[in-house]
Amino acid sequence: MKKLADILPDINGCRICGNAEQTIVRFTFDSRLAGEQTAFVARKGSRSDGHDYIGDALANGCRVIFCEHLPDEIHPDACYVSCDPLPELLGKVLNRYFGFPQQGMTIIGVTGTNGKTTVARLLYELFVGMGHRCGLLSTIENIVGGNVFPATHTTPDQIGLFEWLRTMHDAECSYVFMEVSSHAADQGRIEGIEFACGIFTNLTHDHLDYHGTFKSYLYAKKTFFDRLDRGAFAVINADDPNAEVMVQNTKAKCVTYGLRQLADHKGRILENSLDGLLLQFDAVEWNARLTGVFNASNLLAVYTCALCLGKEAEEVLSGMSGLLPVAGRMERVSSKNSGKTGIVDYAHTPDALEKVITTLLELRKPAQQIVTVVGCGGDRDRRKRPVMAEIACMLSDRVVLTSDNPRSESPEGILREMEQAVRLKYAAKYVVVPDREQAIRTACLMAGNNDIVLVAGKGHEKYQEIGGKKLPFDDVEMLKTHL
């Protein structure tokens, strides 16, 4: 049992109303799970306000309420802890409640539009290969000391994050690598976390359905670096035009990496093929098993971060040479009979899609054609739909527009929006096949021997979200079936 009074820190602007001697044993955001020994956290969200459910929590027996403002009616037996912004207080409370789980662990956060999952996973694999016990929090999965758990969000909620850190601490992890999404930074989910290093990969068009403008999206990412301490490192992609803005207010030590611009750690691509890369990092040549310019940049971020964490360059490059592509990121599927090559990639933004197709254009053999299957998710930024369709048609030889994760939207409605930019200019170049399996099958039939079929948008996902239901679906398995 933990007394609420014992875990409440001193903080300016915090109001306590009621009985601080209440005991709590766990936290939940869901009032339906509330019980006599449960704390309920009420925050105003983008679609609903948690303060509207305080009454439900109390009716279910909850007697500890964390909130941004006190309700009009105060329950005589409950304790209310009010603070705005609430995440700062929760970060301190959760640190105490979970027994300061960060102690003894080095935490690295990776943010950016593209590359977060790849960089975080490669760092995890690299440090495990160096003999360290590590934790990973990512879009694809969460890993604690080699044990794999499914992930529901790119970055867990604030309470869930501390629960994971406690689990990792108990598993004796020394390093934790995690993705930091713009939503997580904006919503304060990472408040209370002491990062030893923050990595910025790039910033392009995405999540404007949530942030509204590109500037707001940029500043959401920027808050991650604003909160880094003086003892931390900010590892920044010098090739991205937003790099300087991202760290203009950070207290951390900035270390840059780049393939094109001047940087503290410079990389060059000497050879690039579907089988891998020959790279030069800080004048040292080495071979990587990943492919593409964007992966060269991701690898350079991994290399730079490892050096900042005190590793020797020779050991780092030796370990990196054995790293494999991350699932659903330029994942290759080969046909045994036709010679066709399938590529599955998570590219779900205009920039990512352009980079993947451009890479394939650079690597393809003479007369080898690229057939691209692409869609856009429902209930997300609608402005990128025609842009992605145009990129696919402009760069590919043939295109099949299809369903991605339509969620609550009509797949046909999403496809009509995608067609806006290509209906006249590229009419002879694309077809529309709403059913995703049939779209992949169609693309495989369109492709000639030795051609490339790119299936973009879902990558590692093993489901398709339609009408509020997650139905089993795997792009890789579909390619293996129809290629």
Residues 362 and 291 in one domain: no
Sheet strands side by side (includes 341-345): 331-334, 341-345, 452-456, 370-374, 398-401, 430-432
Number of domains into which the chain is organized? 3
Half-sphere exposure at residue 239, Cβ-oriented, CA atoms within 13 angstroms: 19
Q: Region of 246 please: left (phi>0), alpha (psi -120 to 50) or beta.
A: alpha
Expressed in percent and rounded to 5, the helix, strand and coil fractions of the chain are 35, 25, 40
Cα end-to-end distance, the chain, whole Å: 58
Domain residues for the domain of 422 are 331-482
Separation of alpha carbons 370 and 342, rounded Å? 10
What are the CA-CA distances from residue 366 to residues 57, 331, 360 (Å)? 65, 22, 12
Q: What is the pLDDT of residue 63?
A: 87
Q: What is the pLDDT of residues 180-206, one digit of tens each?
A: 988 888 888 899 999 999 999 999 865
Residues 163 and 198 in one domain: yes
Intervals of the chain under pLDDT 70 = 1, 10-13, 25-37, 205-212
Residues 53 and 150 in one domain: no
Beta bridge partners of 435: none
Q: Is the dihedral of CA 328, 182, 147, 107 positive or negative?
A: positive
Q: What is the pLDDT of residue 206?
A: 58
* H-helix or E-strand spanning residue 80: strand 79-82
CATH number at residue 407: 3.90.190.20
CATH number at residue 204: 3.40.1190.10
In a domain, 177, yes or no: yes
Separation of alpha carbons 124 and 119, rounded Å? 9
Give the pairing of strands 341-345 and 276-281.
Answer: unpaired
Q: What is the pLDDT of residue 35?
A: 47
Structure tokens at 227: 């909160």
Cβ atoms of 277 and 271 within 8 Å: the answer is yes
Residues 458 and 371 in one domain: yes
Residues 315 and 356 in one domain: no
In a domain, 326, yes or no: no
The 8-class DSSP code of residue 201 comes to -
Q: Rg of the Cα trace of the chain?
A: 24
Cβ atoms of 292 and 360 within 8 Å: the answer is no
Last residue of a domain, one of 80, 97, 114: 97
Cβ atoms of 472 and 463 within 8 Å: the answer is yes
In a domain, 180, yes or no: yes
Structure tokens at 12: 């300016």
DSSP E strand stretches across 312-420: 331-334, 341-345, 370-374, 398-401
Last residue of a domain, one of 97, 118, 140: 97
In a domain, 437, yes or no: yes
Residues 131 and 229 in one domain: yes
Structure tokens at 186: 């904006």
Q: What is the pLDDT of residue 452?
A: 96
Residues 26 and 93 in one domain: yes
Give the pairing of strands 197-200 and 233-237.
Answer: parallel
Residues 132 and 244 in one domain: yes
CATH number at residue 52: 3.40.1390.10
Half-sphere exposure at residue 357, Cβ-oriented, CA atoms within 13 angstroms: 29
Which residue matches tokens 């609550």?
408
In a domain, 230, yes or no: yes
Enter the pTM of the model. 0.83
Long-range Cβ pairs for the range 253-257 (8 Å, 24+):
255/304, 255/308, 256/304, 257/297, 257/300, 257/301, 257/303, 257/304
In a domain, 160, yes or no: yes
What are the CA-CA distances from residue 71 to residues 34, 65, 89 (Å)? 18, 10, 18
In a domain, 325, yes or no: no
Residues 397 and 435 in one domain: yes
Cβ atoms of 115 and 122 within 8 Å: the answer is no
* H-helix or E-strand spanning residue 225: helix 214-226
In a domain, 376, yes or no: yes
User: Cα 433 to chain center, whole Å?
Assistant: 29
Residues 296 and 363 in one domain: no
Residues 297 and 340 in one domain: no
- Among candidate residues 459, 460, 452, the one with its CA nearest the CA of residue 483: 452
Residues 54 and 196 in one domain: no
Last residue of a domain, one of 291, 320, 349: 320
